[in-house]
Amino acid sequence: MIQNQKVIIQVMSLFEKHEELINRAISANKERTFYAAFPEHPSPKIYGETADKDGQVAFKKHLNSKFDELLQTGEQGWIGSEESPYLGSALGTTYPSFSVNQLTENGDKAFHAWRKVSPAERAGILTESLMRVKERFFELAYSTMHTTGQGYMMAFQASGPHACDRALEAISMGYEELTRVPEKVVWDKPMGKFNVVLDKEWVAVPKGVSLAIGCSTFPTWNTVPGVYASLITGNPVIVKPHPGAILPIALVVAELQNVLKEQNIDVNVCQLAADTHDNQITKELAEHTNVKMIDFTGNSVFGSYLEKLDGKTVFTEKTGVNSIILDSCDNLDKALGNIAFSVALYSGQMCTAPQNFFIPESGVKTPDGVVSFDDVVAKFNEQITGLVNNPKAGPFVLGAIQNPLTKERTQEASKLGETVLEPGVIENPMFGDARICTPTVLTTDSKNIDSFSEELFGPIAMMIKTKDTDESIQLASKLASEYGAISCGAYTTDANTKEKIKDAMSLSYTPVSFNLTGAIYVNQNAAFSDFHVTGGNPAGNASFTNSEYVSKRFVWVGFREPSKG
């Protein structure tokens, strides 16, 4: 009998657990074909028969109570000012508040532990956190609905599967960049009668504490790419949500902290920095010397201010003026139906929503003849009206207006052109107090460029009469170059015109979706395939997720000495 026998239990690391998924994501980034790691439909077969109900119950538990899931400590009090655009009342959820100095000091301390964790270990931890978030997709959906006003399906997809896909995209892109260079090599250079032999090694040194500033309309989808890009590259993150949409990203931070604690890593590697509308801490955080990087989604004024801060690496997604160029199409009704849906989707509160529709004064060419400008506008109005008045579609496509100012802007848009479709209100059968505003459609002439050269955030469509398609292209490209654009749509059956559009819009660094008529819309960007924002025009200086989005978050530092072996 063997005495003192030791039983060795080998525990699978989180990287080993998720290695296949991480490698598949790396391949997807290269292939750019369809890939989704997280199912986007809330099917009971996938998520469980009671998942939806359980998620709704979990969300309701947060109402009028403290969000006490965070593991960071030392709070100074409890704050919260979120309101539901559907209920017309405050959520009553409060969050721990922390001083800026405490947040940055915690982050600086956590930095020196987190940067020592290997890229593989970081990738495993971060991917595991996404698996925990997956278990809360329905809770996330209801939390997103009642902070942003998104419809249920969009809220589920955008804050759950699509956000996690974007986060995994950042993890895999970062991991690949960090492992692109070998850790150590023997460098042997022939010198004739002798060789110079050096031992060389390289370390990817992260830049330091990162600040992620969230927006009110997409609190997870727009936030997690920067959060996970910083984390995978060894940088701790302070997540500063918009004060009107804290709960969705708070759930993500809580799960990140849970996994960090389980791995005996300082939970302050990722901290939540909640504030209120009346007492915002964003600028104080951004300007703090300990903060080295900033991710931001929001308006151009604040984004431009951040870009000009000294000593910071800043990644921005700002406002843009998105265009649709109408030249010719095989089926005008289907084309207009597609873009009408794009305008109505989440009431135009998407950074990719189309705003300016350029139509030649001679009309749009179709197989049945040329359709005049006025008739195109009339058909478009019919598509909008038919959609929003459909009780099975309208309320759920429109969702609710997140900010009352957006509704006011839509209702006051008549000064920008001739109103051909008035904004109105429809009833949401589930939420009688929902803040709703149907799209308004205006017409104007191309010479009135001042009326459509700024982003009109919300459900506002400008139908602009141009001399011809060449002027339409010139205006769309000019506005993108000077004011920024995140998306562009174009309809043409002519190959030469298509090439003109591609060339002009590429020079303004704006992607183009051609001839969409089915179940894909100019608003939508797919993880692992579409780059969101190019970083080449005033709509933003970064693009997630390309290699620069992660490689700018660390610096390669080399060490060498005469070889000993």
Q: Is 25 helix (H, G, I), strand (E, B) or coil?
A: helix
Q: List residues bridging with 324 in a β-sheet.
A: 357, 489
Q: Write down the pLDDT at residue 461.
A: 98
Contact assessment for residue 268 and residue 110, using Cβ atoms and an 8 Å cutoff: yes
Contact assessment for residue 202 and residue 183, using Cβ atoms and an 8 Å cutoff: yes
Q: Write down the pLDDT at residue 9.
A: 41
Tokens of 536: 């080449």
Question: Domain 323-514 falls in which CATH fold?
Answer: Aldehyde Dehydrogenase; Chain A, domain 2 (3.40.309)
Residue numbers of the chain with a pLDDT score lower than 50: 1-10
Strands 323-326 and 83-84: unpaired
The CA distance from 137 to 140, in Å, is 5
Domain residue extents for the chain: 14-319+543-558, 323-514
Q: Write down the pLDDT at residue 10.
A: 45
The CA distance from 143 to 55, in Å, is 9
Q: What are phi and psi of 541, to 5 degrees?
A: -105, 5
Contact assessment for residue 256 and residue 171, using Cβ atoms and an 8 Å cutoff: no
Tokens of 394: 């309208």
Tokens 């998720």 found at: 18
Task: Please count the CA atoms within 13 angstroms of the CA of 218 that sit on its side-chain side.
Answer: 22
Q: Write down the pLDDT at residue 346.
A: 97
Sign of CA dihedral 146, 147, 151, 153: negative
The CA distance from 228 to 218, in Å, is 16
Q: Write down the pLDDT at residue 417.
A: 96
- pLDDT tens digits for range 27-48: 999 999 999 999 999 988 899 9
Could you tell me where the beta strands, DSSP code E, fall in 221-297?
237-240, 270-272, 291-297
Tokens of 539: 């709509």
Q: Which residue type sits at 430? A: M
Contact assessment for residue 218 and residue 149, using Cβ atoms and an 8 Å cutoff: no
Q: In what order do the strands lie in the sheet with 356-360?
A: 418-421, 440-445, 460-466, 356-360, 323-326, 488-491, 513-514
The CA distance from 88 to 424, in Å, is 18
The verdict on domain 14-319+543-558 having CATH code 3.40.605.10 is yes
User: Which residue blocks in 135-246 are alpha helix, DSSP H?
Assistant: 137-148, 152-159, 161-178, 224-232
- pLDDT tens digits for range 251-294: 999 999 999 999 999 999 999 999 999 999 999 999 999 999 99
Q: Write down the pLDDT at residue 11.
A: 56
